[in-house]
Amino acid sequence: PVPAPAGATHPLAIGPVGAPEATVDGFVAQYLRNLNFDRGVTLSASTANDRFYALAYTVRDYLVARWLEGVRRYRASDRKAVCYLSAEYLLGRQLDNNLLASGLSDIAAEALAQCGVDIEELRAQEVEPGLGNGGLGRLAACFIDSLATMSVPNVGYGIRYEYGIFRQTFEDGRQVEQPDSWLELGSPWEFPHPEAAQTISFGGSTEKYDDGGVTRSRWVPAWSVQAVPYNYMVPGYQNGRVNTLRLWSSRANHAFDLSVFNAGDYVEAVRAQTFAENISKVLYPEDSTAQGKELRLQQQYFFVAASIRDFIDVVLPEDFDLTRLPERAIFQLNDTHPVIGVPELMRILVDEKKMEWDAAWAVTQQCFAYTCHTLLPEALEVWPIDLLGRLLPRHLEIIYRINEEFLLAVRERFGDDEARIRDMSIISPDGAVRMAFLATVAGSKVNGVAELHSQLLREKVLPAFDEFFPGKFTNVTNGVTPRRFVRLANPELSALITEAIGDGWLTDLERLRELEPFADDADFRTAFGEMKAANKRRLAATLQARDGLTIADDHMLDVMVKRLHEYKRQMLKLLHIVTAYDRIVSGEVEASSVPGRTFVFGAKAAPGYDMAKRIIHLINAVGSVVNDDPRVEGRLKVLFPPNYNVTLAERIIPAADLSEQISLAGKEASGTGNMKFALNGALTVGTDDGANVEIRELVGDDNFFLFGMSEPEVEALWARGYTPAEFAEKDAGLGRALDLIGSGAFSGGDASVFAPIVSNLMNDDRFMVLADYTSYIAAQDRVDDAYTDTAAWQRSAVLNVARSGFFSSDRSMRDYIDRIWHTEPLG
């Protein structure tokens, strides 16, 4: 417990000062006070940004007392905390979430109305912190929401990137990236603590020295930067709990600048500052690919070293006995990005705290656990030893020793099986550190993110490790927070649910099961249909205002939103659209007999991923041709609003009828969008991949459109030899769709623009788009049929909602607690 400053006698000086009164009058008073005292303006002279800030500050004011009280109580307890280490948090906007969590939504709405302030305008003012690429970062944000809601002590640790995921625009249908300067107007949610900066060192060399007769190693770094913590409140849902998200920002270490970088050159010294600040400057925009760039390793070490130090030096009591660290902390490694934390903790324990190696290793092994989020080999990070040795020489030595002892143990078990040793070595034969191996050796547990993924991880990616470490591998299927993705994104559905089954489901999502009987209730289904229609109108208004796009009222909304990656197969979706178009223009079907469908895409491509960017261009190109062709009579529409992000997802998902989850089986680790759609009553057309498998098992085959090869079938086809062109020959529809694309029909007659896509599909097709085409088209024909029977479709949609309660991130957190963390809520 932190004592009050000496001489403080006032009773309020010790604990947190209470929150303002939770009434409309109390809110109005606090709001106006914040406008005056924090923004320095009167209401009449305020800008929208002033009014937004004052609102955010007011919400904050209600949460702060609980936050401080929680921190105080946690410190007084001896509970274990979950230290979630993640390079990404894709938070989305905070205002409505924090209003909901604090139970202030209605009070705030009324208070602002009384002040004559338009709350909608203020909502629009908030720029979402896009500090993540996609599923992995959004998952981290869902997890910390659930932990707070479940009163589990947690600190989320990460990086406060000055520029988050780029802002996407289209020029002539091509993606153009703009920097995401989300901090331009500041962020009202952060609490900076420059005075609590940590020094984080890099480079230099190691040396041996005599420590009273014992020879020890130590690191003599060459340069360092400051890591400044920014705290964010993570409020639980109406439970009075507020956890902390602590993001680090880099800053120059001035003392160092002047001595090392600067030989009397003031300008150079200032330049050094820019160098230091580069570390947290920008989020790497690669999703599911590892870059191997030095700055990226700097980022990783920067935030992990600051976080571990923070927990040991700041959160734990002074002089805490670190042999007992596993009783107080579990460092969860969100993918391989924070794995450098393993040698860092060893370095602290052995070099700084002078613990014996074996004792330190025992502590370290209990303190870490590793979540793998991929099956793609290109996403498994490796660091060349020369780079790692240059940046973190002591860490490299420690990794060598960990590897040596590990391989010794492997030899003891399996004899001198050199092939096995090579396969299991943390250092690869070509001289790189395999971070997933290091995490697996060090972690108390290793988990995949869906049943199928965890199984493939054990059987295909790390089989030797599974054999060597029985019981280490486990599964925790991903989940999503129902607060943001049902309650906030879909208030109409939430009201319907509460009316039907009462409240309580928002923190106990399995209770959605009680909705099942309502699937057979015609009135409920009608209300459900009205909810979807209302959400479509809301989306239509958003897209109209945002991008000038229009949605026809009577169309089925068929949605594919996720990062653009070949394995996710946006190309397969496009081939379906081109086929539907071709069927009309070739006269095979009457336009008037085609059920109306609007295809909605949302996708960013990594800026250096050429094929993905070409596919984006093709989606836009197909859209402009199909949308404007009078022969189509408006039955098919393709919409691709740029800059898909959390804010837009919250609008699109509740309006969707059909959810496209069409990755090649064995490639999508889990998916989490798939869960959000099912929970909002969209039916899935999907492969047996990732968490789709579990969704289908739960919602039932009748309420899910399955297609495509299973993972074993994919493997068998590879083994036989895959010749994609054969599939194009066998299916005339496929042949025609590819010809249309290849002929320049979507590029003003210039065949060269999309020829690389077609030739890639015909000759290589790593993700077997052509092999699954026939089955996919058949599934889409079943979708068209099913959609004509409104009652049956809505019944299925309601059953999707009722049976998807499993996919709450609260359940994921319970699984992590039971299988990996063994933590307990703080009463």
Q: Catalytic site residues? A: 373, 562-563, 568, 672, 676
Which CB sits closer to ligand NBG, 335 or 711?
335
Which residues 6+ apart lie within 8 Å of 222 measured at CB?
Answer: 202, 203, 204, 205, 260
Q: Which amino acid is at 619?
A: I
- Nearest distance in Å: CB 288, ligand NBG: 5
- Nearest distance in Å: CB 283, ligand NBG: 13
Residues contributing to the site for ligand NBG (CB under 6 A):
134-136, 139, 287-288, 335, 373-374, 379, 449, 478, 668-672, 690
Which CB sits closer to ligand NBG, 128 or 287?
287
Helix axes 393-414, 435-442, angle to 10 degrees: 70
Q: Give the integer Cα–Cα distance in Å for 590 and 635.
A: 10
Inter-CA distances, 671 with 146, 490, 621, 807, 816, Å: 18, 20, 27, 11, 18
- Nearest distance in Å: CB 438, ligand NBG: 17
Pairing between strand 89-90 and 167-171? Answer: unpaired
Give the length of the chain: 827
Query: In a 3-state reduction of DSSP, which class is residue 735?
Result: helix
Please give the backbone phi and psi of residue 342, each rounded to the nearest 5 degrees, phi first. -65, -60
Which CB sits closer to ligand NBG, 175 or 288?
288
- Nearest distance in Å: CB 258, ligand NBG: 41
Strands (E) in 356-490, as ranges, are: 368-371, 382-384, 432-434, 446-448, 473-475
Which CB sits closer to ligand NBG, 51 or 604?
604
Which residues 6+ apart lie within 8 Å of 413 measured at CB?
Answer: 468
Alpha helices in 241-314 (DSSP H): 254-256, 266-277, 294-309
Which residues 6+ apart lie within 8 Å of 25 measured at CB?
Answer: none
- Nearest distance in Å: CB 315, ligand NBG: 27
H or E segment at 730?
helix 724-730
Which CB sits closer to ligand NBG, 168 or 478?
478
Residue pointed to by tokens 């996407």: 168
Q: Work out the end-to-end distance of the chain between its first and last CA atoms, rounded to an integer number of angstroms.
A: 18
Burial label for 208, CB within 10 Å (0-12, 13-18, 19+), is exposed
Which residues 6+ apart lie within 8 Å of 143 measured at CB?
Answer: 84, 809, 812, 813
Which CB sits closer to ligand NBG, 94 or 663?
663
Report the candidate in 319, 756, 786 with the shortest Cα–Cα distance to residue 566: 756
Closest residue to ligand NBG, based on beta-carbon distance: 135
Residue pointed to by tokens 């420590």: 211
Q: Which amino acid is at 30?
A: Q
- Nearest distance in Å: CB 516, ligand NBG: 27
- Nearest distance in Å: CB 344, ligand NBG: 22
